[in-house]
Copies of this chain bind each other. A is one copy, B any other.
């Protein structure tokens, strides 16, 4: 009872099934298709430790335990973990992911749950678009810098000391890309 130090959704919470799935893949495999943690780790590219952590954080849940207390997961957990990986690689923290999953309301109302998810994903969409904008801007800056540097390496003629770049006569624009300026020291 006092064992869990982490913010975990009550283990007693009914394992909510949210939004229908007509998709066939998710309905099969009732009992035998269960994975032990090692197999799950291998198939998801995560470590056993990571999977344990995710469980502690309430991000995943094992269907049941073997007689010897081995965790047994069903296949859909792979989907969940891949999703987690994706979210992570995009910049979400585990606690943010936790937030997403917790957001699946407790009240057993499909409409309310759907609305909550909608609200959440709308916010996420805005955040994602902001990140996209930033990255695009960086892409542009990188391209500009490469362009600038290209001129340096092809049009500059004889090599010279870096300090002489101060009086460069090769570059036509007087605009030095931020990524070049930023990388400079003064």
Q: Mark A100-142, 1 if CB is under 8 A from B, else 0.
A: 1100100011111111011001101100110110111011001
In the complex formed, the residue of B with least CB distance to A103 is B183
Task: Tell me if B26 and A162 are in contact (CB < 8 A).
Answer: no
Chain A residues in the interface with B (C-beta under 8 A): 15-23, 26, 61, 63, 74, 76-77, 79-80, 82-84, 86, 89-91, 100-101, 104, 108-115, 117-118, 121-122, 124-125, 128-129, 131-132, 134-136, 138-139, 142-143, 145-146, 148-150, 152-153, 156, 159-168, 171, 174-176, 178-186
| Complex CA–CA separation, A84 to B181 (angstroms) | 12
Task: Tell me if A142 and B125 are in contact (CB < 8 A).
Answer: yes
Task: Tell me if B180 and A110 are in contact (CB < 8 A).
Answer: no
Task: Tell me if B18 and A178 are in contact (CB < 8 A).
Answer: no
Contacts of A181 in B (CB 8 A): 21, 26, 76, 79, 83
Contacts of A129 in B (CB 8 A): 139
| Complex CA–CA separation, A76 to B184 (angstroms) | 9
User: Given A20-B166, A131-B135, are A15 and B186 also a contact pair (CB < 8 Å)?
Assistant: yes
User: What would 21 A/B residue contacts be, using CB atoms closer than 8 Å?
Assistant: A17-B165, A18-B162, A18-B180, A19-B148, A19-B165, A20-B171, A61-B185, A76-B184, A79-B178, A79-B182, A86-B134, A86-B138, A104-B183, A104-B185, A109-B160, A110-B160, A114-B156, A121-B146, A125-B139, A125-B142, A128-B142
In the complex formed, the residue of B with least CB distance to A63 is B186
In the complex formed, the residue of B with least CB distance to A148 is B19
Task: Tell me if B83 and A16 are in contact (CB < 8 A).
Answer: no
